[in-house]
Structure 1
Amino acid sequence: MTKPADFFVAAAMAVTSVCVGVIAAYGLGLGFASASLAALAALGGMAVVHLAFIRTPAPPDGRIDDLDRVATELQSRLETVELRLATLDGAAGERARAAVKPIVEELAALGALVTSIAKEVAAHDARLGQLAAARLLEQATAAPPAGPAATSPAPARAQPAPISLEPRRTRPDLEPFDPDEPEAPAEPLRRAAAPDLGLLARLELALRDDRIDVHLQPVVSLPSRRILHYEALSRLIETDVVTEAAGFMDVAAAAGRLAEIDRRALERAAGVALRLAASGRTGSVFVNIAPGTLSDDAAVAAIRATLDRQSECARLVVLELRQAEFEQLDAVQRAALDGFRERGVRLSMDRTTDLRLEPRDLAQKGVRFVKVAAERLLDPDAVRGASIHPADLAGLLARHGIDLVATNVEEERTVPELLDMDVRAAQGLLFGAARPVRPPSERDGSTPGGAALRLVPRNAAAS
């Protein structure tokens, strides 16, 4: 206690003792001596009580200091342990990277070797095809000229064969091939020369004989390369020639036959999609459709009838248009697409070159896939004028429910660059060329309803 407080307490005790003496003298009628003793007793009692309260506290216990010292030591040891763990993690990561690096380099070398072997085999097959084409041309030159009527089959007025929903095979002796098995890269089918019937005449014959078929090219996931979807590509099947769509689509469009080809391709793709679903796969089948087909009332009605008849196909078939075509659709064509969307069909935008996309608008129009060439995604000039960097395009589209698919992937070195851009789906010759599908009726002891999808071997399809 401070000195002023001591003086105040002493004065208070003195006044209190005097008050006690006065009360004893006048209130209790005690004598002066008795009242003085009572006052002194009260003063002494108050002094004793005050001294009891202001006695010196006991010295602090040393155990608190010991606890502080132990806590400080434990904290120091924990910091040391954390530092050692961080060092060990860094060393383990460096060792793991050093151990994996030779394996990655060896895998890359093996991939390059397999690619070079495949190219050599494809070049050999192409040379054989050229020799066969030259022999056919020699035979055609040596034979007397004949008009289309002479080369056409005799029953020209016979009814056309009904369209089958199942893909056709080009050769009866091909063994089945499972598309889930890994395969070496392959070159695309080579468009060889055919007997000189004229492309339009050959096309009309193929339509009459139901020889416009679809070949399937896989769309795989990265980096696992598991097959996610297939794209159905139209092919003109002849005796010794398989002509890709680019070789006859312009002629078909000029002749007004493109809608018929698209309709047949979609019906065949629907059959393939049903077989995929029956085998337990969750993938879809992409089918290209031309704007002219969307303007053809008969073709649109036939496609709607197919979707209504087999409602399961609506979620398994994806209609695909090029970006330039998609952006120039008129009201009639958009109304046709809206009718397909109401039945559950999804859309895909192919050959996307302008990366100034509006994902929200595309999602509202039913687009669920956007295909961009890998070369375009990796092109440094693609950043110019774009509202977003190509490396962020996959994430932007994914936030609106749209998957980005890199197409035309032909080299192994492209895959790591696509993974760095968060691209998780790809398509191209590196993962497999388009191949014909084996019909389920040729599977031993199986029913078409439960057939598993099998593709014709690559080397046979390319011959």
Structure 2
Amino acid sequence: MRLKALHPLAGAVTGVSLGAAVALLVPGPLGPALGLLAAGAGLAASLRALERRNAEHRELLLAGLGEVKVRLATGAIRIDALSQRVELMPMRDVDAAPARAAINELTAEVGLLGDLIHQVATTLADHDEKLLRLPQAAPQMPASPLAAPAPAPEVRLDPEAARREHAEKLAAERAAAARAAREEAQAERAALIGAALSDGRVEVQLQPIVSLPQRRTRGYEALPGLRLDENTLLLPHEFLEIVDERGLGQTLDALVLTRALAIARHLAAKDGDVFITCNFSAATWASSRALAALTRILERYRDHIGRLVIEMPQAVFRSLDPTSLGLLGAMSANGVRFALDQVADLRLDPRSLFDRGIRFVKVRAALLGAHAEGRVASDIAAGDLAALLGRASIALVAEGVEDNPMAADMIELGVGMGQGNAFSPPRPVKPEVFAEPAPAAPARAEPPTARPTAEVLDYPQPSAPAAAEAQPKPERLPFRAVLRRASA
């Protein structure tokens, strides 16, 4: 039988039982005294066994915490190795950003668990230290019999509340780590976009604007794309928000305008009045200096700006300051036409729009359909809008036409032009369109026209005078000799 296998209370039970038996069996006052002594010895043995067991449990707990810390350190090393492998893999920066964010989040969680375990071990060590100091502090307490003993602080243990608090703290730290990783990925993506803009890696795609119902191409809208690498081309909805946040909208507008004017130059070499439209960012419309810079670009393409149409959101048009309106009028006087875009309501003044240089009004086909069906209240019927704008020499363009039934609805409303995937999706532009035209070759001097000779006129070439003098003259025969030769 092993004594360590017994329950700690076995000593107390044995001592009390032995003391009771001694008190009953030994006569006189010696029996109860021996019984109390035996009971006290049993209680002391039980307390000793309890302290020994608690010490063993504490040692096992500390050993387990140490093992968990070792495993966490091993896991952190493996995560670091995984991060290095991800960095060495042939991945695009856009695809590698989510993997890096997940690895950063996992590293943060491992570090958080390590901190919690270290906190538990520190708390246990502090508890042991305080327990060792209790016997030394006890004699210093006042031993006045009249002083009431100080009540011991009440300790309330609520495992559910502690677990909930720990879970909330862990969730908050995890959310903070995920937010930091997301911000880092966005910053990296913004840096890539900024570098692409600085290098001028802007590619323009064209979506045709057709006449209805003939579906003949009347113009194109230039939609910018940003080339990050050979396999990654960002569409406008993927980078315009970052461009606006980073203040790079003016740079993008200058690049797109230059390419749109190059396309207009290419269209001018063909028959037909085909135009090209492009958009400016809100930052450009809000800055008169940026508009002035774009006006200088237009000056270099003065011969081709008649085919350029600049789109302007309705909200921007209604909030332009006097300086921007003056620049708008200057561009309109030079031949630039404008289109009202992103129309939110149909409260339009055609005469005022025409005076400001507006020649096109682009309205979403879904909005026109909602007005036609009565789902949106309006002061003018959707079917009368095209005629109202047409009287002011403004063309109505229905954009976002996705299928043939929607195109048929626009034709019924009298819309003269349409744009959308029902007619054609955006398509890239051939590189030779942006090439500078070759300088015209100088006119060569015409050689002097030679006098037509007999050879040219398909006659025998006359002989030279010297050759004629060198030939012997024919012998002249008398008529009688000729007659004699003939009669013979």
**Which TM class, normalised by the smaller chain length?**
0.5 to 0.7
Aligned residues between the structures:
269
Cα distance in structure 2, aligned partners of 1:289 and 1:135: 28
Cα offsets for 1:230-274 (capped at 9, x unmatched):
001111112212212222222212221111111111111000011
CA contact (8 A) 1:199 1:248 kept: no
1:278–1:390 CA distance, 2 compared to 1 (3 A)? same
CA contact (8 A) 1:234 1:245 kept: yes
CA contact (8 A) 1:269 1:285 kept: yes
Secondary structure, counterpart of 2:414 in structure 1: coil
Aligned match of 2:339: 348
The one of 286, 303, 311 aligned to 1:320: 311
Q: Does 1:428 pair with 2:420?
A: yes
1:135–1:391 CA distance, 2 compared to 1 (3 A)? same
Cα distance in structure 2, aligned partners of 1:347 and 1:235: 22
Aligned match of 1:157: none
Superposition deviation, residue 382 in structure 1: 5.3
Cα distance in structure 2, aligned partners of 1:136 and 1:262: 24
Superposition deviation, residue 216 in structure 1: 0.9
1:399–1:241 CA distance, 2 compared to 1 (3 A)? same
Aligned match of 1:278: 269
Cα distance in structure 2, aligned partners of 1:242 and 1:400: 41
CA contact (8 A) 1:260 1:299 kept: no
Cα offsets for 1:92-111 (capped at 9, x unmatched):
xxxxxxxxxxxxxxxxxxxx
Structure 1: 5+ residue stretches without partners: 1-131, 147-194, 451-463
Question: For residue 348 of structure 2, what is the amino acid of its counterpart?
Answer: L
1:282–1:134 CA distance, 2 compared to 1 (3 A)? same
Cα distance in structure 2, aligned partners of 1:247 and 1:201: 14
Q: Does 1:245 pair with 2:203?
A: no
Q: Does 1:231 pair with 2:221?
A: yes
Q: Does 1:411 pair with 2:403?
A: yes
1:297–1:395 CA distance, 2 compared to 1 (3 A)? closer
Cα distance in structure 1, aligned partners of 2:226 and 2:427: 13
Q: Does 1:137 pair with 2:128?
A: no
Question: For residue 440 of structure 1, what is the amino acid of its counterpart?
Answer: E
Superposition deviation, residue 330 in structure 1: 1.9
The higher radius of gyration belongs to 2
Cα distance in structure 1, aligned partners of 2:100 and 2:349: 59
Superposition deviation, residue 387 in structure 1: 2.2
Q: Does 1:307 pair with 2:298?
A: yes
Cα offsets for 1:171-208 (capped at 9, x unmatched):
xxxxxxxxxxxxxxxxxxxxxxxx98722101211112
Question: For residue 201 of structure 1, what is the amino acid of its counterpart?
Answer: A
Cα distance in structure 2, aligned partners of 1:269 and 1:285: 7
Cα distance in structure 1, aligned partners of 2:242 and 2:419: 27
Question: What is the correspondence of 1:216-227 to structure 2 with a 5 Å cutoff?
Answer: 216-227=206-217
Secondary structure, counterpart of 1:320 in structure 2: strand
Secondary structure, counterpart of 1:432 in structure 2: coil
1:399–1:199 CA distance, 2 compared to 1 (3 A)? same
Q: Does 1:372 pair with 2:363?
A: yes
CA contact (8 A) 1:441 1:447 kept: no
CA contact (8 A) 2:354 2:393 kept: yes
CA contact (8 A) 1:351 1:372 kept: yes
Cα distance in structure 1, aligned partners of 2:323 and 2:210: 34
Secondary structure, counterpart of 1:349 in structure 2: strand
CA contact (8 A) 1:408 1:427 kept: yes
Provide the aligned C-alpha RMSD in A.
3.2
Secondary structure, counterpart of 1:371 in structure 2: strand
Secondary structure, counterpart of 1:386 in structure 2: coil
Cα offsets for 1:36-78 (capped at 9, x unmatched):
xxxxxxxxxxxxxxxxxxxxxxxxxxxxxxxxxxxxxxxxxxx
Cα distance in structure 1, aligned partners of 2:314 and 2:434: 39
Cα distance in structure 2, aligned partners of 1:291 and 1:210: 20
Cα distance in structure 2, aligned partners of 1:337 and 1:294: 10
Cα distance in structure 2, aligned partners of 1:142 and 1:249: 24
Cα distance in structure 2, aligned partners of 1:135 and 1:262: 25
CA contact (8 A) 1:383 1:389 kept: no
Aligned match of 1:292: 283
1:386–1:449 CA distance, 2 compared to 1 (3 A)? farther
Question: For residue 237 of structure 2, what is the amino acid of its counterpart?
Answer: A
What TM-score results when the alignment is normalised by the length of structure 2? 0.50
Structure 2: 5+ residue stretches without partners: 1-89, 105-184, 441-488
Aligned match of 2:320: 329
Superposition deviation, residue 298 in structure 1: 4.6
Question: For residue 435 of structure 1, what is the amino acid of its counterpart?
Answer: R
Cα offsets for 1:368-408 (capped at 9, x unmatched):
00011111111146575422100111011000000000010
What TM-score results when the alignment is normalised by the length of structure 1? 0.53
Aligned match of 2:158: none
Question: What is the correspondence of 1:6-405 to structure 2 with a 5 Å cutoff?
Answer: 137=95, 141=99, 198-239=188-229, 240-379=231-370, 380=372, 384-405=376-397
Superposition deviation, residue 134 in structure 1: 9.9
Cα distance in structure 2, aligned partners of 1:420 and 1:290: 33
1:420–1:209 CA distance, 2 compared to 1 (3 A)? same
Cα offsets for 1:249-308 (capped at 9, x unmatched):
222122211111111111110000110111223111111013421343553233222222
CA contact (8 A) 1:322 1:351 kept: yes
- Bigger RCO (CA 8 Å, 6+ sep): 1
Cα offsets for 1:136-183 (capped at 9, x unmatched):
73698489x99xxxxxxxxxxxxxxxxxxxxxxxxxxxxxxxxxxxxx
Q: Work out the percentage of aligned pairs sharing the same amino acid.
A: 32
Superposition deviation, residue 346 in structure 1: 0.8
Secondary structure, counterpart of 1:397 in structure 2: helix
CA contact (8 A) 2:407 2:422 kept: no
1:343–1:377 CA distance, 2 compared to 1 (3 A)? same
CA contact (8 A) 2:292 2:327 kept: no
1:382–1:209 CA distance, 2 compared to 1 (3 A)? farther
Bigger shift: 248-257 or 421-430? 248-257
Cα distance in structure 2, aligned partners of 1:224 and 1:265: 30
